[in-house]
Amino acid sequence: MSPRSPEREGAELERRVLTTTVERMVAWARQSSVWPASFGLACCAIEMMCTAAARFDLARFGSELFRASPRQADLMIVSGRVSQKMAPVLRHIYDQMLEPKWVIAMGDCASCGGVFNNYALVQGVDKIVPVDVYVAGCPPCPEALMYGFLMLREKIGAGGGRR
């Protein structure tokens, strides 16, 4: 791009003057208030609670409200192993959530079955719901979950992840 191309001038103007497109404003609003569903499955849920508590404080990113009703939630953090019996319940909760909605597969078990490579568990929650961000760790420490959450924020801010 040349120093005085129209695109660069447009970007410069946008930086100096408070103008934006509706799409970008909506994306900004969405990424700043992602409300997770309060829904924990196993030991990862303990780390998820810790992420929301005072020390790590997910509220700094506008996500302090863990909604008890999936109809008020935007994000499902699948925190823990999903057994074959739990799979239809999980799908049901996902279907009850309103668009736009996102899913974080937190930890090894939710991402791909982890250490439990057996018939009792779903080998990766992406077999039943579409997953946006995978977080590795067993369980991931609160910072690791927050790192995954910030990756999701970036994705939402770029207008991605809508289905």
Residue 112 within binding range of other proteins, rule CB under 8 A: yes
User: Which range touches other proteins (CB under 8 A), out of 5-13, 14-22, 65-73, 106-114?
Assistant: 106-114
CB atoms near residue 104 (< 10 Å): 26
* C-beta closer to other proteins: residue 70 or 82: 82
| C-alpha to C-alpha distance for 95 and 24, rounded to whole angstroms | 26
Q: Where are the alpha helices (DSSP H) in 114-161?
A: 142-157
* C-beta closer to other proteins: residue 39 or 134: 134
From residue 115 to residue 134, what is the string marking binding to other proteins with x (rule CB under 8 A)? x-x------x-x-----xxx
Q: Which of residues 4-63 bind other proteins (CB under 8 A)?
A: 54-57, 60
Residue 143 within binding range of other proteins, rule CB under 8 A: yes
| C-alpha to C-alpha distance for 127 and 112, rounded to whole angstroms | 9
Q: Which helix (H) or strand (E) holds 75?
A: strand 75-79
> Residue 70 corresponds to which tokens in the numbers above?
């999936």
Q: Tell me which DSSP letter residue 37 carries.
A: B
Using CB under 8 A as the criterion, which residues of the chain lie in contact with other proteins when the complex forms? Answer: 54-57, 60, 108, 111-115, 117, 124, 126, 132-138, 140-144, 146-148, 150-151, 155
